[in-house]
Amino acid sequence: MPLIYILSPLVAFLLYILYHVLVAPRFNVLRTLPGPPVQKWFGNHLQHVLNPIVTPKVHEIFVQRYGRTVRIRGLGPWDERLLTLDPVSFTHIVKNTAIYEKPWQSRRLITSLIGCGMLSAEGQVHKRQRRVALPAFSAQNMRSLVDISFKKGIQLRDAWVDVLGSTTSARIDVCQFLSRTTFDVIGLAGFDYNFNSIRDETNELFIAYKDMFEVAISQGSMFRTLLSIYLPTINQLFPDNTVRTVQRCKEVIHRVAGRLIQEKKEKISEGEKSGDPYDGKDLLTLLLKSNASADLLPEQRISDDDILNNINTFMFAGSDTSSLSMTWTLFLLAQHPNIQDRLRTELLSIADKFPRDLSELTEDQVQSLHTALSGLPFLHNVTRESLRLIPPLHSTLRVATQDDEVPTMYPVHRRDGTVDGTKRSFTVPRGTFVHLSVEAFNLDKAVWGEDAWDFNPDRWDNLPEAAQQHPWHFSSILTFSAGPRACPGLRFALIEMKTLYYILLTNFVFKETEDKITKHNVVLTRPYLSGKFKDGTQCPLLVSRFTPT
């Protein structure tokens, strides 16, 4: 074969690469925006904008130097990205889901683990799934969650009482226990299945989900992960340990959860036939009923596979997010004993309306306890403040599927440092990755004031005007995102968190240990012992019994 036949495709490929790395970026309109310099030709700013240890300071400096519309460097010189710190731009981007999608790379990764549920679906598929799922999260349907959260809270209390034994205090990794608790809650609330993981961690389905999510957040080979995203067949041809683990987990989930779906379907259909409708309140039953509802056209219904993918999605999106929020709250309360005391006093103010032994509460009493908790102002302030200060999802990514003119609230700076005071928009070219930082908005001093980075639940009694301007999805903070893809589990999470705060704070006192805890962004913002990242997520606190005088 003449050499030219071999060389031509190679040269074409090289030219293509050179064009995209060297030439095309020079004509990218994003280059008209200002942004930080890169230290090396292949340097990038990803650590600067994703690492919660540095991001508050980095964002502050960016705003001072470049304004709120900033160009940053992604993986390499061909990858100019947008970081928006402008609230109007943020709203525009999350609202226009037809233009701004989640990048196919992250969708492919999520789909390869938990299937194409609401987290990774786009377009009509996403709309259909969300329409079917949303009724399951209504206030009415969340009533049974109150009871589930309460019972699991009592189990957690008992587990910690056992750990304490006859000692006055013990070092407990609250993060690990809360993670098991939220898994148990979402198992029962999600598909009426008791993992019983607070008691022990041997349940087959629990292990399958845990191992699978561990893989998703593991620090395994970054190169291999990227390779399998761009070249998925590599996993079939050369499966490594991770691939084999995911495969094993998927088989268990398909077998056990698939069987649960079939059983539920049978119960619903038997109920219909007998005229005594099945009244299961778990998300799976509600999803199946919503999917079968006469209001939906056949093409609006979702398949059994989609139902399973969404149950997986609830497990994935609804367990660690809640447990980390609660972990960070306990951590902040341990750091601020006065606030912890004030919160406990407020919680105890409703305690004498209920039997002293919480295990004796009837279902009705649990519901009225929840109603009482919903009316406690300081509990609400502490919950919101912790969610504001340490949002479990630090930031999210979108990609522009077409050129777009993005509106801004603040003037856009030019690359040369000048500012056109009248222009309130800029162009984003198709294919641009957009970094949306939840944390940056939650900690913005221009919005929350000079103490924006401090834990101050009282700020909620007197919110600055600027904070009230953006109601977002929840309480002027972006922790649950905003727009058509905002978190559907908000109400779920609040019920779970407030119930657990009540049980834990009226039974225990939390203090810091000598260990320094730091944050790392590993899919979510997780606690680690300083300098011991390899030891994994943990948040040890000194826990002792609280006995009312």
Q: Is 487 annotated as a binding residue?
A: yes
For residue 129, the minimal CB distance to ligand HEM (Å) is: 8
C-alpha–C-alpha distance, residues 344 and 172, integer Å: 20
Are the C-beta atoms of residues 323 and 182 closer than 8 Å to each other? Answer: yes
* C-alpha torsion sign, points 444, 450, 454, 456: negative
Residue 402 corresponds to which tokens in the numbers above? 């077409």
Is the CB of 220 or the CB of 483 nearer to ligand HEM?
A: 483
Nearer to ligand HEM, 249 or 311 (CB): 311
Cα distances from 331 to residues 171, 355, 391, 487, 541, in angstroms, run 13, 29, 14, 24, 7
Is residue 538 involved in binding ligand HEM (CB under 6 A)?
A: no
Residue 32 gets which letter from DSSP? G
Question: Which CB sits closer to ligand HEM, 404 or 439?
Answer: 439
Q: Which is nearer to ligand HEM, 471 or 548 (CB)?
A: 471
Closest separation in Å from C-beta 398 to ligand HEM: 8
Among 198, 393, 452, 509, binds ligand HEM (CB under 6 A): 393
Please say which residue, 413 or 498, places its beta carbon nearer to ligand HEM: 498
Composition of the chain by helix, strand, coil, percent to 5: 55, 10, 30
- Buried b / exposed e over 67-91, threshold 16 CB at 10 Å, is bbbbbbbbeebbbbbbbbbbbbbbb
Q: Are 198 and 152 in contact (CB under 8 A)?
A: yes
Q: In the numeric block, which tokens belong to residue 494?
A: 């609040």
- By the rule CB under 6 A, 313 interacts with ligand HEM: yes
Closer to ligand HEM at the Cβ: 367 or 396?
396
Compose the 424-463 pattern: x for residues touching ligand HEM by CB under 6 A, - for all others.
----------------------------------------
- Comparison of 387 and 509: residue with beta carbon closer to ligand HEM: 387
Which residues from 480-509 bind ligand HEM, rule CB under 6 A? 480-481, 485, 487-489, 492-493
CB-CB contact of 523 with 217 (8 Å): yes
Interface map 461-480 toward ligand HEM (x if CB under 6 A): ------------------xx
CA atoms of 76 and 53, how far apart (whole Å): 23
Among 34, 87, 392, 457, binds ligand HEM (CB under 6 A): 392
Residue 89 makes contact with ligand HEM by CB under 6 A: no
Please pick, from the candidates 228, 285, 325, 507, the single residue that binds ligand HEM as defined by CB under 6 A. 325
Q: CB–CB of 384/460 below 8 Å? A: yes
**Footprint of ligand HEM on this chain (CB under 6 A)?**
118-119, 130, 186, 313-314, 317-318, 321-322, 325, 392-393, 396, 479-481, 485, 487-489, 492-493
